[in-house]
Amino acid sequence: MNGANLLPDKPPRKLVWSLGWRSGLVQTFFSHQRMQGIGVGWALLPVLQRWSRSDDEFRRKAERHFAYYNGNPYLASFTLGAIARLEAEGEGERAPGMKQRMMPITGALGDRLFWHHLRPMILAGCTILLLTLPLNDTVVTLVPAVALFLFGFISWSFRFSGIRFGWRHGKDTPYALSRLNLLRRSGFLGYIGAMIAGVVVSAGILQVTTGSGLSIEVNPSVLASIAAGLLLGRRATPVWVVLIILVVVVLEAVMMSRTTVATGVF
């Protein structure tokens, strides 16, 4: 198996499962000198064992895979799949260059997708469930469990699909991953997250300023939160969203208090 034409487009199933599960542990061996490099090297051990003809060749290959690596851990599988393909084709010496090309791509994409969009959106959505559903032991237990399940399901889906993607594209993985344009496509998550965050913030501020129950209702503050999400979108920061909603909620509270006073007078 020294030629790319001898390898199937789909990696062996056993290899996918092995690399996929190991990709979830790349940060277990985290260090300030090599960052995730030791974890990546450990994850690749099944690959090196499969395509090494002797113990000396295995040790020689292993030395180059435990070097420095620092990318988003949820997308490390894309790098692992690409390196596995290189090793299978007998071009493992190109692995260090592959790591250098993949680090900025997976770092920028993974941080934006998982840290900036997906995780806040799931947490805010579950917060809305806690605000709208009657609180009891079942709800308080199930809602966090749903949040963990959703995040885990999506992140592990990326891990296993990344192995297949990297194997299929091999040395062209950085270019193929960039052409997916996932940064732009994930922008809608920023709009949704900003709107959900605004709804949660408006409900909380209304409860503090008016003393009403903590619930989600259609009112000017909620509409303002949706507008803030649409206007700011993925460029929104929590500070701007909170400031916009705070101004609207305070104005609404003042208007509500004047209405109450006027009603009491007449």
Distances in Å between the Cα of 89 and the Cα atoms of 9, 45, 124 are: 12, 16, 46
Q: Clarify whether residues 177 and 198 are in a common domain.
A: no
Segment 145-161 mean pLDDT: 90
Q: Clarify whether residues 86 and 121 are in a common domain.
A: yes
Length of the chain: 266
Distance from the Cα of residue 202 to its chain's centroid: 26
pTM: 0.71
Domain boundary among 182, 206, 240: 182
Q: Clarify whether residues 165 and 122 are in a common domain.
A: yes
Q: Clarify whether residues 62 and 144 are in a common domain.
A: yes
Q: Clarify whether residues 48 and 171 are in a common domain.
A: yes
Q: Clarify whether residues 244 and 138 are in a common domain.
A: no
Contacts of range 1-4, beta carbons closer than 8 Å, 24 or more positions apart: 1/51, 1/88, 1/89, 1/90, 2/89, 2/90, 3/89, 4/89, 4/170
Q: Specify which residues 35 forms β-bridges with.
A: 31, 69
> Does the structure show a pLDDT above 50 at 218?
no
Domain boundary among 147, 182, 217: 182
> Does the structure show a pLDDT above 90 at 78?
yes
Q: Clarify whether residues 147 and 203 are in a common domain.
A: no
More confident residue, 250 or 123: 123
Q: Clarify whether residues 80 and 205 are in a common domain.
A: no
Domain boundary among 140, 167, 182: 182
Q: Which domain holds residue 217?
A: 187-265
Q: Clarify whether residues 172 and 191 are in a common domain.
A: no
Q: 9, exposed or middle or buried, with CB in 10 Å at 0-12, 13-18, 19+? A: exposed
pLDDT class for 96, splitting at 50, 70, 90? confident
pLDDT class for 34, splitting at 50, 70, 90? confident
Spatial separation of the C-alpha atoms in residues 128 and 114, rounded to whole Å: 20
Q: Clarify whether residues 159 and 233 are in a common domain.
A: no
More confident residue, 165 or 236: 165
Give the number of domains in the chain: 2
Q: Clarify whether residues 67 and 160 are in a common domain.
A: yes
Which tokens in the block code for residue 181? Answer: 């344009």
pLDDT at position 107 is: 86
pLDDT class for 130, splitting at 50, 70, 90? confident
pLDDT digits (tens, 9 = 90+) for 40-56: 889 999 888 888 888 88
Q: Clarify whether residues 174 and 194 are in a common domain.
A: no
Spatial separation of the C-alpha atoms in residues 100 and 68, rounded to whole Å: 9
